[in-house]
Amino acid sequence: MKIGIQQNNFQNWLTETTHCRNVVFQALNLTPFDDALAALPQAEDAQDACIFLGCTLGPKMSAIATQHHGLVFPNLPGRPYKPFHSSLYTVEELFTGFDSAAPDSYRQTPDWLTYRSFIKVDENSQPMHPIQYVKVGADEMLARRLHDHFISDALEEMLTAFDPRNGGKGVVAVMGGHDRKRSDPVFSQVAKLSRQLTIEGFLVASGGGPGLMEAANLGAFFARRPEAELEIAIARMADPAADADKYSDPNWLKMAWEVRRDFKPEDIQRCRSLGVPTWFYGHEPPNVFASDIAKYFENSLREEGLLGIATHGVIFAQGNAGTAQEIFQDACQNYYDSYGYKSPMILLGVAAWNPEPGEMSDDKNSPFYGNKPAWPLLSKLARMKNFSNLLTLTDDPKEVLMAIRCFRAPGQA
């Protein structure tokens, strides 16, 4: 099998290697190392040849790649994104060009421009209904696939530090409605839960978008600050005068940007969290509180992957169809033992997920309108495959934390 070499392991490989065979070089400028690489023994047949993905080659290695069966994928310029993206995104990269004093400047950022290259929008910058993809050629399709592959590769690398088998504490995913307001009590509840999990060393992962996804990343962002400061930040963003309570409000991004600026952590490494958004839902901007962002084109990669990396379970806060889908997608992973072991599923909100007959309504103006009886079906599936002990239905954040703390993943000390 060929080994992957990228920025973070290139120097070690070059120091230790005795040949230049069976290597996949990823998004590297190899020009300064032209002589050193050319001096190494090269592949004698196609099976052992090197592959160069989005690399810049010096003259010697360019010739050697041709002579020794090398496969060179050149850079694919002229796009608002980098197909060969060798690391996860940062907020600064996705929002390059954004000015909180001019909220409309978001429309000039790489994040928005990439979305516009993928999904058609109307005159109000909303996706067409039904969703329509921008028609592109095979080169663009290939570029997107390469991009998502590189993001997955970078995500896998990032997660090694949190892998229980490597001494890490583990990953906890948080799911919930994208349309929840910052003023909703559940927003504060999720943020405080995520803050505590981050303090304890877990990596909190969310879908990277607005609503309760933002709450999860926001809580992690405040892990090194007093809870009172988190409450101040939430109140500031939820203030009716700010016109920023919901992601569709005009100052939603502006207020988040300013909170991020004013409460910037001194040690971001101790406040890390993961956001996994997608340009499929690009009309919902990513939140600005995740330290690491794995943004994909393909929503299916994001949905399955986000649930799959949650070594220590998933918290399902209040949500609608998307969150309900995620509950049963995660249940399938446990039911079929897809990842070799089962992990906790925590439904936060008793009435939301197991309402009494009088707590359900089809009236959009009813306080019970959003309640959904997911718990009975989930419980039945769990009984069939013996993971009832991993299910929790609660309104109490302490029970959520206990369910996660008590779980031990395979290989965990």
Instruction: Give the Cα separation of 325 and 303 in Å (integer).
Output: 10
pLDDT value of residue 185:
98
CB 150 within 8 Å of CB 156: no
Instruction: Give the Cα separation of 275 and 267 in Å (integer).
Output: 19
Is the N-terminal amide bond of 285 cis, ω within 30° of 0?
A: no
**Which helix (H) or strand (E) covers residue 51, if one does?**
strand 51-53
- Could you give the C-alpha distances from 343 to 6, 327, 406, in angstroms and in order? 32, 13, 11
CB 206 within 8 Å of CB 216: yes
pLDDT value of residue 9:
94
The two three-digit tokens of residue 317, written as one number: 């806060």
Q: Would residue 22 be called left, alpha or beta, if left means φ above 0 and alpha means ψ between -120 and 50 degrees?
A: left
pLDDT value of residue 177:
97
pLDDT value of residue 282:
87
**Which helix (H) or strand (E) covers residue 71, if one does?**
strand 71-73
Instruction: Give the Cα separation of 41 and 27 in Å (integer).
Output: 22
In 3D space, the residue among 160, 86, 95 whose CA is nearest the CA of residue 290 turns out to be: 95
Domains in the chain with CATH codes: 3-73 (no CATH), 163-405 (3.40.50.450)
Instruction: Give the Cα separation of 150 and 152 in Å (integer).
Output: 5
In 3D space, the residue among 285, 286, 261 whose CA is nearest the CA of residue 273 turns out to be: 286
Is the N-terminal amide bond of 130 cis, ω within 30° of 0?
A: yes
Q: How many CB atoms are closer than 10 A to CB 305?
A: 20
Instruction: Give the Cα separation of 14 and 25 in Å (integer).
Output: 12
The two three-digit tokens of residue 385, written as one number: 């495959």
Enumerate the H helices of 263-341 as residue ranges.
299-308, 321-335
Instruction: Give the Cα separation of 317 and 310 in Å (integer).
Output: 15
Q: What is the mean pLDDT of each run of 10 residues along the chain (413 residues)?
A: 94 98 96 98 97 97 97 94 96 98 96 98 93 97 96 95 95 98 99 99 98 99 99 99 97 98 94 98 93 96 92 98 97 97 98 96 96 99 99 99 96 82
Instruction: Give the Cα separation of 300 and 127 in Å (integer).
Output: 19
CB 85 within 8 Å of CB 144: no
pLDDT value of residue 375:
99
